[in-house]
A and B are shown apart, each in its own frame.
Chain A
Amino acid sequence: MRRNLRFIWLLTKLRLAHTMVFRVSFFGAFFADGALFLVQMLAFSLIYGQVDGIGGWSRGQMMIFIGSFSMLNGLSMFLCFFGLADLPRKIREGGIDLYLTKPGNPLLRLSFESMDLGSAPLLLLSAFIVAHGMAIEGIMLTLPLILYYGALILAMGLLYYDMELILRTIPFFVISATAIERLEGDMLTLNFKIPGVLYKGGFKLLFYFVLPYGIMATVPTEALSGVLGPWGLAYALAIVAGFTAFALWFWGLGLRNYKSASS
C-alpha cells in the first residue's frame, strides 16, 4: 500500500511537470465542467421558481445532488479520467505492452499517470454548491456529518471509477469502443440531471442495479439530508463492493485476452 502511494505521488509530480507546459489550458477541465454544473444549478433554480418540489425533493436537496455529482465528476477528472479515457486506444494499438513490461501495477499506472491537477478546483466549487444546498435546507454542519458524507462520496467515487473501468475494459474483446463511450456519455448526462428517486419501474432497475449511475449522487444527498435508511446505505455499499470486485475481475480477464498489436 505504501509503495503504491509513493508510486502515485511520483506519477503526480511527473504529470504536474508535463501539464504546467500548457498553462492556458491548465484549468481547462475546471472551467468547462464548472460552467456545466453552474448552468445546471441555474436551470434547477428556475424550475424551483415555479414549483415547490420535484419528486418529493426540495430545492436544497437538488443543490446538494448537483454538488455531489459535480464532486464525483471532479474527483474522476482530477484522479483518473484522462488515464482511463485513453485506455481503448492503447488496447487497440498495442500500447498496453508498455505497462505490462514495466514494474508496478499496470492498472494503477494507467489510472493515475494522467491526473489532471487543474481539475482540483472543481472539488472546491462542488463543496460550495453542496454548502449552498445545505444552507437552503437548514442542515447544520457537524464533524460526524462531514465524515459520513465524505466517506459516501469516496465510496461512490469508487463506483464511478468502477463503471469507467468496466466500460473501457470491453475494448479488450471488441474492435470499436465508440458505442461504449457514447453510451457512457449519454448515461452520465441523463443521470446528473435526474436524481435517482425519480426513477420508477424498469428505469429504477436499470439505474440502481445494472448501470448504477442513479445511486451515485443520490445516496450522498440522501445521507446529508437525513433520509437515507440503513437498508439504503447497505444496498449502496453492497453495490460498490460488488461492482469493484467485478471491475477488477473483468480487468484481469481483459488482460488475459489482450493480443498485443505492436511489433
Chain B
Amino acid sequence: MKKYLVIAQTAFKAQIVYRFDVGMTALATLWKLLFAWILWGAIFEGRQSVSGFSFQTMLAYYLVVSFLSSMDLSSGVSFELSNRIRGGTFSKFMVLPASPQLQFLAQSLGSSAYYALFALLAALGCALLFRIRAGFSAGPAEILCALCLAILGLIFMVSYHYCIGLLTFKFQEISFFLHMQGNLIAFATGAMLPLTLLPKPVLDLLSALPFPHVGYLPAMLLTGQAGLVEGLKGFVVLLLWTAGLMAANRLLYERLRVQYDGVGI
C-alpha cells in the first residue's frame, strides 16, 4: 500500500511541471459554464423550469460536472497504456514489483488531486462570476454521498480506461476506439446534459450502468435534484461495477500479457 502512496505523491508533485496544462484544464470549466450559460439562457427565456431544473440549478449542475470532469484524468491511462504497449515501454511495469493496475490508479489519483485544487479554484470563480450559489441545496448527508460517489467514480474511470488500454495487447491499434468512446462516455456520465431529459425507461436502464453515477448523480445530489436513497443506490451500483471491473482487469492482464513482445524500457 505504501508504495502506491509514494507513486501517488510523486504524480502529484510531477504535475507542478505541467502548470500550463493544469491552468488550461481549470479554464475549461469556464468554457463549459459559458456554454451552459448561453445555451440554457436561451432555452430558459420566458420559462421558469425545464425538466424540474431552474436556470440557477442548471448552471449549478454544469458547474459540478465540469469540476468533476476537470479532475478526471483517466482517459490518459488508456492512451498511455496503449502507447507503451505498442512502443515497447510497457516492460517497465512488468518488471516492477507492483500491480500495473494499481500503479496506474495511484498515478492517476495523485495527478487528479493536484488538478482538483485548481479545478476547485476555477469552480469557485465561476460560481461567483455566474452567481450560482442559489443552485446548491443539498444537506450534509447528500454532500458526503456525492463526495464518496465522486472519489469512487474516479477509481472506476481509471479501471475502465485501464481495461480499454489492455486491449492493445490484442488489437494493437485502438486509437480510433479511444476517441469514439470518449464522446459516448461524456454523454452517459451526464457531462453534456442532465440525464433527466431522457425518457424514464432509458434513464432506468442507464442507471444500471456505472457511468451516470460518476458525474450525473453527484451533481444531482449537490443541486438537490436527487435524494439520499437514490445516492446510496447509485453508490452500491458503482461499487459493484468497480470491484467487478478491477477483478476482471486482473484476469485480463494475466491472460493478455503473454502476447506482449515489446523490448523497450
Contact = CB atoms under 8 A, between A and B. Distances in A.
B28 interface: yes
B175 A28 contact: yes
B197 A193 contact: no
B28 to A, nearest CB: 7
A258 B193 CA distance: 45
A186 B39 contact: no
Mostly, the B contact residues are: helix
A189 interface: yes
B43 A32 contact: no
B43 A182 contact: no
Interface residues of B, number: 34
A198 interface: yes
B20 A32 contact: no
Contacts of A54: 39, 42-43
Nearest to B202: A46
Mostly, the A contact residues are: helix
A194 interface: yes
A194 B36 CA distance: 10
B187 A50 contact: no
Given A39-B184, A182-B24, A50 B38 contact: no
B42 A55 contact: yes
Interface in A237-259: none
Which interface class (under 10, 10 to 19, 20 to 34, 35 or more) fits A? 20 to 34
B180 A35 contact: yes
A43 B41 CA distance: 16
Interface of B: 20-21, 24, 27-28, 31, 34-35, 38-39, 41-43, 45, 47, 50-51, 171-173, 175-177, 179-180, 182-184, 186-187, 192-193, 197-198
Given A46-B197, A182-B24, 10 more contacts: A31-B179, A32-B176, A42-B187, A50-B43, A51-B50, A54-B43, A179-B20, A189-B35, A194-B35, A199-B38
Closest 4 CB pairs of A and B: A28-B176, A32-B179, A55-B42, A46-B197
